[in-house]
Structure 1
Amino acid sequence: MRRNIATGSAWEGVVGYSRAVRVGDQVHVAGTTAIRDGRVVGPGDAYTQARVALEIVVEALAACGATPADVVRTRMFVTDIRDWEAVGRAHGEVFATVRPASTMVQVSALIDPDLLVEIEADAVVGSPSGSGSGPGSPEVTPP
């Protein structure tokens, strides 16, 4: 069974997408940026934007019955690769013990020139995760 999660953004209908989609035990969270209440949070600050984007990702996961511990892959898109450390630090604060497969690439632009970071996530609900040192899922605190 397919479950679409919407945020109510006007763009969802225009573009035809969902914030997240759950099919079976798989959850896919769409590219997520630091936009809250129609405005960019943290213009000029890649770390803050990554943290806010990750908060939104965690909220979408929760709406699908998943947690950060279920995440198996993330993709981070940055407009300036020199921000890799700040974005990576924010990512590590959420996923340090989960350690999903992850990619970070530089892109020429995002939908708004004030946006510096966009993050996607894929999860498998109930998947054992962690550092490989023991069974079960680690506890992960959302941002």
Structure 2
Amino acid sequence: MIERINYEGLPQIAGPYVHAVKHDKTLYISGLTAYGTVAQSSDLVAQSKEILGQIAAILECEQRSKSDLIKITIFVRDIALLASIREQLFQFYDGCLPACSLVEVSKLIHPDLQIEIEAVVAL
């Protein structure tokens, strides 16, 4: 069974997708950004903090913890800025490091956006 979910408290969806999809004891979280939040026009650090907060909110709604994160994929517009969020990521993972991919991209959905993060969570 597949369940498509939009979470209250997260930025409203502006495209043809949902915040997450549950399938076979796995939660697939769509690429989240700071779009539509106060952090949208801020720097990479502020946008990263916003997105990690969104992921934390989803984990809380699903009664999951950070140790249930299986895989994170991070898309950044400037990979040279990775060092500015590295410590933030370590703190967020709280010792439960997931598998991770980091990809530099030329653009995201809006020119203000510096980062997008998607995740896979074990249920």
State, as a whole percentage, how many aligned pairs show the same letter.
Answer: 28
> What is the rounded CA distance, in whole Å, between the counterparts of 1:79 and 1:69 in structure 2?
28
Q: Does the 8 Å contact 1:20/1:64 carry over to 2?
A: no
Q: Which amino acid aligns with 1:20?
A: A
Match of 1:16, SS state, is coil
1:95 maps to 93
What is the CA deviation profile of residues 45-80 of structure 1, one whole-angstrom value per residue up to 9, with x for unaligned ones?
211111110111121233333222100110110001
What is the CA deviation profile of residues 23-52 of structure 1, one whole-angstrom value per residue up to 9, with x for unaligned ones?
2320111001123xx245063421111111
Cα offset for 1:10?
Answer: 4.6
Cα offset for 1:99?
Answer: 0.6
Counting only pairs closer than 5 Å after superposition, residues 57-136 of structure 1 correspond to structure 2 as 57-125=55-123
Rg (Cα) greater in structure = 1
What is the CA deviation profile of residues 105-125 of structure 1, one whole-angstrom value per residue up to 9, with x for unaligned ones?
110011111110100110112
1:34 aligns with 2:34: yes
User: 1:94–1:2: structure 2 CA closer, same or farther, 3 Å change rule?
Assistant: same
Bigger relative contact order (CA 8 A; separation at least 6)? 2
Q: Which amino acid aligns with 2:21?
A: V
Further displaced range: 59-68 or 22-31: 59-68
Aligned residue pair count: 120
Output the TM-score relative to the length of structure 1. 0.74
- Which structure 2 segments of 5+ residues have no match? none
> What is the rounded CA distance, in whole Å, between the counterparts of 1:103 and 1:67 in structure 2?
20
1:20 aligns with 2:20: yes
> What is the rounded CA distance, in whole Å, between the counterparts of 1:86 and 1:29 in structure 2?
24
Cα offset for 1:85?
Answer: 1.0
Q: Which amino acid aligns with 2:33?
A: T
Match of 1:17, SS state, is coil
Q: Which amino acid aligns with 1:62?
A: E
Q: Does the 8 Å contact 2:66/2:94 carry over to 1?
A: no
